[in-house]
Amino acid sequence: MSEAATQPRLPDEVGVPDPFQYMHPVMKKNYGNWDWHERPRPGVLRHVSKDGESIYTVRAGTQRQMDLFTIRKLCDIGDQFADGHVRFTTRSNIEFLVADPAKVDPLIEKLQAEGFPVGGTGNSISMISHTQGWLHCDIPGTDASGVVKSLMDQMYDDFIKEEMPNRVRITTSCCQINCGGQGDIAINVQYTKPPRINHDLVANVCERPAVVARCPVAAIRPAMVNGKPSLEVDEKKCICCGACYPPCPPMQINGDDSTKLAIWVGGKHSNARSKPTFHKLVMANLPNNPPRWPEVSEVVGKILKAYKDNAKDWERMGEWIERIGWPRFFELADLPFTKHHLDTWTGARHNMNMSAHVHF
Amino acid sequence: MANSNGGDARDHHATPMLDELETGPWPSFITGLKRLRDSSEKQYAPMVNDLLGQLEHSYENRLGYWKGGTVSVFGYGGGIIPRFSEVADKFPASKEFHTLRVQPPAGYHYTTDILRQMCDIWERHGSGLIAFHGQSGDIMFQGCSTENTQKAFDELNEIGFDLGGAGPALRTSMSCVGHARCEMSCYDEVKAHREVINEFLDEMHRPALPYKFKFKFSGCPNDCVNAIHRADFAVIGTWRDDMKVNQEEVKKYVAEVGRKYAIDHVVAMCPTRALSLNDDDTLDVDNKSCVRCMHCLNVMTKALSPGDDKGVSILIGGKRALKIGDLMGIMIKPFMKLETEEDYEELKEFAGEVIDFFAENALEHERIGETIDRIGLPTFLEALGVDPDPNMVKHPRTSCFVRTDDFTEEAEKWYARKGRKADDDATVAAE
């Protein structure tokens, strides 16, 4: 065999690809020269440049985890009904870019006929930003795509319409690392039991000092168990966060019944009006109940209804609650307030009401 | 039981729970996976059949069955997410199901042609399943055998794509649509994204940092790529001069929605009470009080626009819970111009200094926000040669537990800086 054949191919470390080779020509031409935009209907944006040129964007929902057939179908639609240029949003919606307004309606019709919901713009509920779950992650407490499919089926009408007070950004995460991120509503795994340790495996699989250092509450310490070096957990201190599990898989944090789902509200990335905020716990201990997680759907539905019925235009979930107060939120969403809603982490005191301001 | 060609329905794993995810109006990933499983002539059909079998197994038992490991491609220390099945005895064809994290074009622009090329490559070497995009910002080519990983990467690399980050490394970045299609955009996000990330690719491809480090680029404070929460180094567009007001368009807007609506939803929602509606339905803006939150610009897209003196703010230290709790980025550079080549060089230089500081000072598995918390913001600023600025704080300290014997010298530095700035402004004005 020649040397060339045995040598591996040298990679070309190109880094971030140049997007201009893929960008719609009208966007390339008007790069940095846009003037204003409007939303002619849900799922459609029209941006107008300072030179008066327009580009239409038709946004459609996808399942994010797409098979080749779906991607090729979207490409066919993009070639036949749009201009062959697409982009994806941060929330995995696909956007078709169209210069000719006459193409917009046929494109929408085609997308809808092929089962792709057109929407996700403005004051809608956009696609849930989510994680991998049982499909691909090595530490998941639940699935991601399945929960998302179930919820998007339920919220379908609010994706294709713009009838919420402001945009609603929902996230899901299948462990407490929370890769799904902050959201107006976040549906996250919450473990409820300390890790179960397979002491036969710890010494060979885990770098023990690193695992000890990983624990946020210093509940893990080295120990000899059955004559083998292992780790033990002070279960009174353990907050069941699961941080030890990724670096030490023999510390199994998931259990078929102990892995629960918690719901958080009021996270916001944008700086519009109020500063960015973290989401806050409102419900916990919901069962991890595939394939459609009905208990989660019910709580999310109650929160969305309370928000839709009561918030003012432009108020995001957290801003609405800020105005009406937490007592009224728990009442309107029909959720219990417990001692677990009282923060106990670093800085917890700053989350208490240190005033005589009371909502009655 | 899986068969070798995956084509015979009798040999498909039964998936009664997953089948329930095929009903309802939202596109179903299960239907998509089944299309792959049923393409009996394709190399990926048996793999996807066993993948569905394992997923159904997870749904039944409410547990995950993947474990990590070590898989890489030639020349890289990261970018492949290895997945080995813990139930490979039951589902052998998907025993290896690795993901290639591939960096997308800045702003997520594609042609149908390049998407088809990706599909063709993944049809030959992968599972046929691609996610646009993962939470890391990458295109996730999900499901590849160890043997095919190098082949898939080589072909993706041939069409101009590169691996993203994983592990303790610089991570794949994201930028919003920005200049390409948004009037709010305050800098060239594509240029900033590509110049910064491509400058430090070595940190991405050969992981050697204490922990992950993420940049994100948003063109305005609407922060569409969620930089303040999710990035160690958030670059957010903003402007220094007055916002632009087209008073005729303001009047049209007020006429359209009504005066009460305009006052309740624009004026009253301004977080710093910087707006007032005049008696003639024009808008009075107190630009010195405005914090560039974007609300009124978002509502009145025709009437209001960012000013001309644009640039960026840089916030450092955003991350999620592990280990000390959630952190958002702290305002470190309230304003940097980002127009000339020199400006971009300065951004890259600053980014490099921050990465170097992180590499040298962070503890293992510590994000830079945690490092800042541990050492205190003044120490961090001093290390980077950044002067303290009142825009960095919500309010000055409330604790008296601080040693202030050099307060007078520090105050002199403040006055000296102010004097220099006044001179600079005078020079600019004279030009």
- A229: number of Cβ within 10 Å: 14
**Any idea which of B7-16, B267-276, B319-328 has the lowest mean pLDDT?**
B7-16
CATH placement of domain A196-252 = 3.30.70.20
CATH 3.30.413.10 fits A133-192+258-344, yes or no: yes
Q: At B430, which helix (H) or strand (E)? A: helix B407-430
CA distances from B116 to A64, A68, B137, B162 (A): 16, 9, 20, 17
pLDDT for res B426: 78
Query: What does DSSP say about strands B283-285 and B330-336: parallel, antiparallel, or unpaired?
Result: unpaired
Q: At B52, which helix (H) or strand (E)? A: helix B45-61
pLDDT for res B423: 82
Residue B56 has pLDDT above 90, yes or no: yes
Residue B112 has pLDDT above 60, yes or no: yes
Q: At B377, which helix (H) or strand (E)? A: helix B377-384
pLDDT for res B9: 62
Whether A91 and A129 have beta carbons less than 8 Å apart is answered as yes
Indicate if B279 and B319 belong to the same structural domain.
no
Indicate if B333 and B216 belong to the same structural domain.
yes
Report chain A's terminal Cα–Cα distance, integer Å: 84
Residue of A193, A244, A270, A293 best to disrupt the B interface, most CBs of B under 10 A:
A270
Residues of B in contact with A67 (CB under 8 A): 29, 32-33, 35-36, 128-129
Residue of A nearest to B42 (CA): A68
- Whether B110 sits inside 8 A of A271 (CB atoms) is no
- Count of alpha carbons within 13 angstroms of residue A51, beta-carbon side: 9
Task: State both tokens at B401.
Answer: 């537990």
Report chain B's terminal Cα–Cα distance, integer Å: 79
Rounded to whole angstroms, the Cα distance separating B392 from B413 reads 17
pLDDT for res A18: 98
Summarize pLDDT for A87-114 with one digit per residue, the tens.
Answer: 999 999 999 999 999 999 999 999 999 9
Cα four-point dihedral sign B256, B260, B262, B264:
negative
Indicate if B341 and B296 belong to the same structural domain.
no
Residue A54 has pLDDT above 90, yes or no: yes
**What letter represents residue B252's amino acid?**
K
**What letter represents residue A347's amino acid?**
G
- Give contacts of B 30-59 with A, CB under 8 A: 30, 32-33, 35-36, 51, 55, 58-59
Indicate if B336 and B379 belong to the same structural domain.
yes
pLDDT for res B3: 40
Tell me whether residue B169 is in a domain: no
Residue B350's contacts (CB-CB under 8 Å, 6 or more residues apart) are: B314, B333, B336, B384
CATH 1.10.3720.10 fits A19-113, yes or no: no
- Whether B108 sits inside 8 A of A176 (CB atoms) is no
pLDDT for res B157: 98
**What letter represents residue A356's amino acid?**
A
pLDDT for res B111: 98
- Whether A68 sits inside 8 A of B122 (CB atoms) is yes
CATH number at residue B416: 3.30.413.10
Summarize pLDDT for B191-213 with one digit per residue, the tens.
Answer: 999 999 999 999 999 999 999 99
Residue A295 burial class via C-beta count within 10 angstroms: exposed 0-12, middle 13-18, buried 19 and up: middle
3-state secondary structure chain A: CCHHHHCCCCCCCCCCCCHHHCCCHHHHHCCCCEEEEEEEECCEEEEEECCCCEEEEEEECCCCEEEHHHHHHHHHHHHHCCCCEEEECCCCCEEEEECCHHHHHHHHHHHHHCCCCECCCCCCECCCECCCHHHCCCCCCCCCHHHHHHHHHHHHHHHHCCCCCCCECEEEECCCCCCCCCCCEEEEEEECCCCEECHHHHHHHCCHHHHHHHCCCCCEEEEEECCEEEEEECCCCCCCCCCCCCCCCCEECCCCCCEEEEEEECCECCCCCCCCECCEEEEEEEECCCCCCHHHHHHHHHHHHHHHHHCCCCCCHHHHHHHHCHHHHHHHCCCCCCHHHCCCCCCHHHHCCCCCCCCC
Alpha-carbon distance B413 to nearest alpha carbon in chain A (angstroms): 31
Residues of B in contact with A254 (CB under 8 A): 63-64
Indicate if B181 and B158 belong to the same structural domain.
no
Summarize pLDDT for A197-220 with one digit per residue, the tens.
Answer: 999 999 999 999 999 999 999 999
Average of pLDDT values for B13-27? 98
Domain that holds residue B279: 244-305
Task: State both tokens at B269.
Answer: 């929602």
Indicate if B72 and B115 belong to the same structural domain.
yes
Indicate if B138 and B221 belong to the same structural domain.
no
Task: State both tokens at B247.
Answer: 């008073």
DSSP-assigned letters across all residues of B288-323: TT-----HHHHH-TTTEE--SSEEEEEEE--B-STT
Summarize pLDDT for A209-248 with one digit per residue, the tens.
Answer: 999 999 999 999 999 999 999 999 999 999 999 999 999 9
Of residues B35, B99, B118, nearest to A136 (C-beta) = B99
- Whether B112 sits inside 8 A of A276 (CB atoms) is no
Residue B340's contacts (CB-CB under 8 Å, 6 or more residues apart) are: none
Of residues B21, B25, B64, nearest to A137 (C-beta) = B64
Rounded to whole angstroms, the Cα distance separating B374 from B385 reads 18
CATH number at residue B295: 3.30.70.20
Average of pLDDT values for B380-388? 97
Indicate if B143 and B16 belong to the same structural domain.
yes
Whether B121 and A73 have beta carbons less than 8 Å apart is answered as no
Rounded to whole angstroms, the Cα distance separating B327 from B230 reads 9
Task: State both tokens at A36.
Answer: 């204003």
Summarize pLDDT for B228-251 with one digit per residue, the tens.
Answer: 999 999 999 999 999 999 999 999
pLDDT for res B10: 61
Indicate if B160 and B212 belong to the same structural domain.
no
% of chain B at pLDDT higher than 70: 97
Rounded to whole angstroms, the Cα distance separating B368 from B324 reads 12
Indicate if B156 and B201 belong to the same structural domain.
no
Q: Among B279, B305, B331, where does a domain finish?
A: B305
Tell me whether residue B354 is in a domain: yes
Tell me whether residue B353 is in a domain: yes
Rounded to whole angstroms, the Cα distance separating A313 from B260 reads 13
Rounded to whole angstroms, the Cα distance separating B265 from B248 reads 19
Q: For B110, phi and psi rounded to 5 degrees?
A: -140, 155
pLDDT for res B5: 45
pTM for the full model? 0.96
- Whether A65 sits inside 8 A of B58 (CB atoms) is no
pLDDT for res B422: 81
Whether A85 and A23 have beta carbons less than 8 Å apart is answered as yes
What average pLDDT is seen over chain B? Answer: 95
Summarize pLDDT for B164-195 with one digit per residue, the tens.
Answer: 999 999 999 999 999 999 999 999 999 999 99
Indicate if B10 and B103 belong to the same structural domain.
yes
Whether B332 and B355 have beta carbons less than 8 Å apart is answered as no
Indicate if B94 and B183 belong to the same structural domain.
no
pLDDT for res A123: 98
One fold for A19-113 and A196-252: yes
pLDDT for res B424: 80
Q: 3-state DSSP call for residue B115?
A: helix
- Give contacts of A 248-307 with B, CB under 8 A: 249, 254, 256-257, 259, 267, 269-276, 278, 288, 290-292
pLDDT for res A3: 53
Which bin fits A19, alpha (ψ -120 to 50), beta or left (φ > 0)? alpha
Q: Where are the domains of chain A?
A: 19-113, 133-192+258-344, 196-252
**Is the predicted ipTM greater than 0.85, yes or no?**
yes
Letter string b/e over residues B51-84, b meaning 16 or more CB atoms within 10 A of that residue's CB: bbbbbbbbbeebbbbbeeeebbbeebbbbbbbbb
Report DSSP state, residue B179: G
pLDDT for res A8: 84
Average of pLDDT values for B117-138? 96
Number of domains making up chain B = 3
